[in-house]
Amino acid sequence: MFDTVLVANRGEIAVRVIRTLRRLGLRSVAVYSDADARARHVAEADAAVRLGPAQAALSYLSAERLLDAAARAGAGAVHPGYGFLAENAGFARAVAGAGLTFIGPPADAIEAMGDKIRAKETVAAAGVPVVPGAHADGDGELAEAARVLGLPVLLKPSAGGGGKGMRLVRDADLLADEIEAARRGALAAFGDGTLLAERWVERPRHIEIQILADGHGTVLHLGERECSLQRRHQKIVEEAPSPFLDDATRAVMGEAAVRAARACGYVGAGTVEFIVPGDDSATHYFMEMNTRLQVEHPVTELVTGLDLVEWQVRVARGERLPFGQDAVATVGHAVEARVCAETARPTAEGSGVDFLPSAGTVLLLAEPEGDGVRTDSGLAEGTEVSPDYDPLLAKVVAHGPDRATALLRLRAALARTTVLGVDTNTGFLRRLLAHPAVVSGELDTGLVDGAASGLLPAGVPEEVYAAVALARQAAFAPAPAPGEWTDPFSVPSGWRLGGEPAWTIHRLRVPGHDPVTVRVRPGEARVGDEGAPVPARLLDGPGGGALRVEYAGTAHGFAHAPHPRAPGAHWLGRDGDAWHVQAYDPVAAAGGAAAPGADTLSAPMPGTVTVVKAAAGEAVTAGQSLLVVEAMKMEHVIAAPHDGTVTELGVSVGATVAMDQVLAVVTPATVATTPVAEPPAPAPQEPS
């Protein structure tokens, strides 16, 4: 029996596990990398042990360091959370080998279900229907197997989970490139490049069954979760129960999930995932089993009233489940939205949306509370959000007596969610939840990608620019103290003797948008170069985390945080959206211009250059892949915008780059080239 648990994870799931351990009277031990020394999970645990550098391989992925931390802290058990080593059979065996309890399934079950190829064979033998698929060792053999299977196909890392690394291929001509990229992504994320191809089910719904099993032969299912709202195969909204299934199908899928769990000797909390054709709710195919707690477990907790982390701990301590399948009941409806550190921007061609990882320091944080609302979060003001880890920051969950109420509560909760200092997808999620197909329950896994461009804001509201200009103006010309006289010529108020006040000009820019000029004078503002001035004044602030302005006859309130390291820059937030408004210097912006007509290719996100496919001086064609930048286990391909020559190449493989850092310059063939810049020498690599 153990009384101290080491939580071998970070962020919101570590905070979530620590909360239940505290309620059960168990001592919690956190672990942290150097990047997380001041993280919330470290502060909330009873004790914390440093692991090492920010690189996951030297901290959260190091079984040796985690077990040493457990020994130093006197822990008798290890809870792996999700991600990192949660589904690593070798880690589970190492924990048991050290005489500790692994709060999760047996290593053999992890191994059987962790390999997607073996998992499909195991559950098929137990009578569970599986998606038709194929696998092969070589790229050419896999491409041929995919052609025989029939396109479109989904390429999946065999060792992976959580939707990472999957690539949908519809064009046979792209198979070779997609297989190469998928293997590279699988190796980077899971250390195993083995792939399988599965036949793509059109308009699929992703429905999963929560499993709970003890070590005494009881295996139960706790109902289903609908997880069809995804972007790039990554879930962003989940709900329980599914609005698609009827009771008969629900029971059949639950029984299939129990058979799958029994087939691998499962113990603890886990999830069996199915694909269901959008036009046939009675048909379902096994997709994979997640041998761990799922990110979306709170929706099941809210509708069943069960604490899944508590039952993981109790089962690990050898307890029997005190209830049977007939005692499992659900009440009401719950919906969860994943708040991630990412920037949603239109793609270069304008037909879609790129979701790019973001990073920064949390300058201001407000998380929602209220009836039926739950927030699982790893954030605190001052948290450094790093590109080294997964972008998930928090989960906002709402429960109600019915689906419509739960959706309304979640939208309202997201409107009260404010994270300033880091771009998040909160506003995007609010608009998604109001989409007619979501409201009606007509979901499929392609809905988000298809609707994404219509869920972006039309632009930056004029009152945002006006508010920042008025705040900057107030900083330039602070109000005099009572009884104090101020020389009107000493402040940039626009005052002049015997004439109409002059405009003070503020040039501002929000990343991803064109610069905007704002003119301000007492009582008025003009945003942009067209249109007439409108009444504008500062009502309250800046200060105390809020800013209120009156613009064109309407009062607007914003959450507000000045950027501490960028004078004149401000973060504003409202209704889940946030804007980083920066001072714009057109002279400085033009200072590094390349040859006329050349296109400068910049890093779309902070990250690491993992592939360089071109060289300075090389002729390239439009759309040709030049570099790959990776952040938060997401790859972004930098392609040539037109035919031409790479006239500058400023990075090499392994280089760490900041957002908007210049990576390369491609000059069209019709433009005289500038001298070619040699790439820098490769940076010294840390030993692996």
Give 343-360 as a DSSP string: EEEE-TTSSSEEEEE--E
Whole-structure pTM value? 0.83
Q: Which residues, 6 or more positions from 87, have their beta carbon under 8 angstroms from its beta carbon?
A: 110, 114, 161, 290, 291, 292
Ramachandran quadrant class, 201 (left: phi over 0; alpha: psi -120 to 50; beta: rest): beta
Among candidate residues 204, 238, 208, 236, the one with its CA nearest the CA of residue 222: 208
Peptide bond into 542 cis (omega under 30): yes
Provide the 10 A C-beta neighbour count for residue 279.
9
Which of 56-70, 103-117, 307-321, 530-544 is the least confident region? 530-544
Which of 24-28, 407-411, 503-507 is the least confident region? 503-507
Identify the structural domains of the chain with CATH numbers, from first to last.
4-103 (3.40.50.20), 107-129+205-331 (3.30.470.20), 132-199 (3.30.1490.20), 333-454 (3.30.470.20), 462-476+504-586 (3.30.700.30), 592-668 (2.40.50.100)
Mean pLDDT of 379-404: 95
For 440-471, the pLDDT digits (tens) are 999 999 999 999 999 999 899 999 999 999 99
How does residue 491 score in pLDDT terms, banded at 50, 70 and 90? Answer: low
* Terminal alpha carbon distance of the chain: 37
How does residue 264 score in pLDDT terms, banded at 50, 70 and 90? Answer: very high
How much of the chain exceeds pLDDT 70, in percent? 91
How does residue 684 score in pLDDT terms, banded at 50, 70 and 90? Answer: very low
Distance CA 632, CA 298 (A): 24
Mean pLDDT of 547-555: 97
Judged against a pLDDT cut of 60, whether residue 356 lies above it is answered with: yes
Judged against a pLDDT cut of 70, whether residue 490 lies above it is answered with: no
Element (H, E) at 430: helix 426-433
* Residue 495 vs residues 71, 85, 311, 468, 488: alpha-carbon distances, Å: 70, 64, 70, 20, 7
Angle at 664 between CA 659 and CA 668, to 5 degrees: 130
Judged against a pLDDT cut of 70, whether residue 421 lies above it is answered with: yes
Name the DSSP letter for residue 679: P
Distance CA 211, CA 232 (A): 26
Judged against a pLDDT cut of 90, whether residue 632 lies above it is answered with: no
Judged against a pLDDT cut of 50, whether residue 681 lies above it is answered with: no
Among candidate residues 266, 263, 225, 328, the one with its CA nearest the CA of residue 105: 266
Judged against a pLDDT cut of 80, whether residue 513 lies above it is answered with: yes
Provide the 10 A C-beta neighbour count for residue 155.
23
Distance CA 344, CA 483 (A): 50
Judged against a pLDDT cut of 70, whether residue 524 lies above it is answered with: yes
For 197-253, the pLDDT digits (tens) are 988 888 899 999 999 999 999 999 999 999 999 998 899 999 999 999 999 999 999
How does residue 499 score in pLDDT terms, banded at 50, 70 and 90? Answer: low
Record the tokens describing residue 40, joined without a space: 């919330």
Mean pLDDT of 495-509: 80
Rounded to 5 degrees, what are φ and ψ at 414? -65, -30
Radius of gyration of the chain (CA): 27
Task: Report whether 628 contacts 638 (CB < 8 A).
Answer: yes
Judged against a pLDDT cut of 60, whether residue 489 lies above it is answered with: no
Specify the pLDDT at position 670.
66
Distance CA 93, CA 278 (A): 40
